[in-house]
Amino acid sequence: MSDPAANLSPLADTVQVLAFDIFGTVVDWHGSIVRELQALVPDVDADAFATAWRAGYAPAMAAVMRGEQPWTLIDALHRQILETLLPRFGLAHLHEAARAHLNRVWHRLQPWPDSVAGLGQLKQRFIVVSLSNGNLDLLTRMAKRAGLPWDAVLSAEVFRAYKPDPATYLGVARTFDVPPDAVMLVAAHHDDLAGARACGLRTAYIERPLEFGAARPKDVSPRAENDLHAASLTDLARQLGASGPDAATGAPWNT
């Protein structure tokens, strides 16, 4: 019988905190928005709408970071982007209640099939926290609805800085009073991981080939600069020794 402990990453014994990117890594933003929009307005091109909404995300945050507008929560930025999209997609007729409900779709994003189980396994051995540009209200309501078992909800709102500002990554280490290399960022985006790595954090890439929908598959090939590469959060739990009954103590187990 093989010894599962022999296949563990050495980081299993040095990392204490796993900080997770959320949109695309833990939850399926594209599929969730497409499903809700199709139910609300069946005739719209929901795939193109979801893609365009997300495309406005980085430029909106950049405007805040450049000081062109004051600190703004992601909920408000999402609404600003939404208001520009509605006329483009023939939806200018939507009334305020429908617009507000649609904007809160970001609170209702569905987890990927492996996310809840993977987080539950990882939580046996590590502190698991969100580290998202999403605001606290959004992340908390999303977690409660989706059953995401965070030990803590951290957000750009806490640090008043959007990723990849070092204040976000280093803020996690300060929050838990650990050195940066005791924190691992888990994300499906290489730019996010690069920002974390520049601050001394460990990094794990998660494959989400369908983040942008089936029509736009992502290249999820491994990159040498990341410490770990996993097909899913349950795969990451396996690599970090958090998928067995004795994961809380780090003791080996048999399968």
Per-residue pLDDT, 251: 39
| Beta-strand pair 127-132/202-206 | unpaired
Rounded average pLDDT over 16-20 = 98
Q: What is the largest CA-CA distance in the chain?
A: 65
Domain 30-107 in CATH 1.10.150.240? The answer is yes
Q: Which helix (H) or strand (E) holds 111?
A: strand 110-111
Per-residue pLDDT, 243: 80
Rounded average pLDDT over 138-160 = 97
Residue 116 contacts residue 6 (beta carbons within 8 Å)? no
Mean pLDDT of the chain: 93
96-139 pLDDT, tens per residue? 999 999 999 999 999 999 999 999 999 999 999 999 999 999 99
Residue intervals of the chain classified under CATH 3.40.50.1000 are 4-26+112-239
Per-residue pLDDT, 7: 72
Kindly state which CATH superfamily the domain 4-26+112-239 is placed in. Answer: HAD superfamily/HAD-like (3.40.50.1000)
* Secondary-structure percent of the chain, ordered helix, strand, coil, rounded to 5: 45, 15, 40
Residue 209's φ and ψ, nearest 5 degrees, are -65, -25
Q: Quote the pTM value.
A: 0.92
- Say how far residue 230 (Cα) sits from the centre of its chain: 15
Q: Which residue has the higher pLDDT, 254 or 45?
A: 45
Per-residue pLDDT, 5: 57
Residue intervals of the chain classified under CATH 1.10.150.240 are 30-107
